[in-house]
């Protein structure tokens, strides 16, 4: 069972400037529209390893370069992990970084910037069991509990189109929830159903 994670520590001024120079740009905002109409330094430079995620339950927004030419950016991955925590319990866990690559690739295939609304990221076993018992349509052995699944919407793209792009990519299980208007994407074996 994953340990309860603490939010990433606040960076010193020197640490911030060093990190920004090494990584590109890391921006946090509680306002999901704060970045509307803007592009990051990384995006202008053609960097493909950046995402903007808005957690629909906590109203937290994170725009981050998670992968640079040197590989994964640890501080960015930690921030993503915290944003994708179980909002019910506050528990965070390791998230399969391949999911971030899938999201970036899907946005590129859709011809839009990778700005996603997150409905569900990590889900603790206790939360998953509670939702399953309540008939909320979650799988008993959901990959959300392993940090290998994410439920999202892509800004400016219909969820049916996002589903089609994910199916075409064939990189994991894809679930489409038309009534709730989101797509489940995971890093498991390719099935096409509920998550």
pLDDT in tens, 118-159: 999 999 999 999 998 888 778 888 999 999 999 999 999 999
194 within domain boundaries: no
Which of 32, 118, 36 has the alpha carbon at shortest distance from 81?
Answer: 118
2 within domain boundaries: no
8 within domain boundaries: no
The DSSP code sequence of 67-122 is EETTEE-HHHHHHHHHHTS-TTT-------THHHHHHHHHHHHHTS--EEEEEE--
Q: For the chain, what is the mean pLDDT?
A: 80
Q: What pTM did the predictor assign?
A: 0.74
61 within domain boundaries: yes
195 within domain boundaries: no
Over 60: is that where the pLDDT of 18 sits?
Answer: no
How many domains does the structure of the chain reveal? 1
3 within domain boundaries: no
Percent share of the chain, pLDDT over 70: 72
104 within domain boundaries: yes
pLDDT bin (cut points 50, 70, 90) of residue 5 is very low
pLDDT at 59: 97
What domain range includes position 59? 13-186
Rg, C-alpha atoms of the chain = 16
55 within domain boundaries: yes
CATH assignment at residue 98? 3.30.1380
């Amino acid at each position: 069972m994953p340990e309860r994670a603490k939010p990433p520590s606040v960076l010193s001024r020197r640490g911030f400037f060093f990190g920004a120079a090494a990584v590109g740009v890391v921006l946090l905002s509680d306002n999901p529209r704060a970045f509307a109409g803007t592009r990051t330094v990384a995006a202008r430079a053609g960097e493909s390893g950046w995402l903007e995620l808005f957690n629909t339950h906590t109203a937290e927004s994170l725009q981050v370069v998670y992968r640079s030419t040197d590989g994964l950016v640890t501080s960015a991955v930690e921030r993503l992990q915290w944003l994708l925590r179980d909002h019910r319990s506050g528990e965070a866990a390791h998230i399969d970084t391949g999911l971030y690559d899938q999201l970036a690739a899907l946005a590129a295939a859709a011809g839009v910037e990778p700005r996603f609304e997150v409905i569900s990221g990590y889900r603790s076993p206790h939360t998953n069991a509670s939702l399953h018992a309540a008939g909320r349509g979650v799988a008993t052995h959901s990959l959300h509990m392993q940090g290998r699944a994410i439920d999202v919407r892509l800004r400016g793209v219909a969820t049916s189109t996002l589903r089609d792009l994910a199916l075409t990519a064939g990189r994991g299980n894809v679930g489409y929830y038309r009534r709730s208007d989101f797509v489940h994407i995971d890093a498991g074996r390719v099935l096409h159903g509920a998550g």
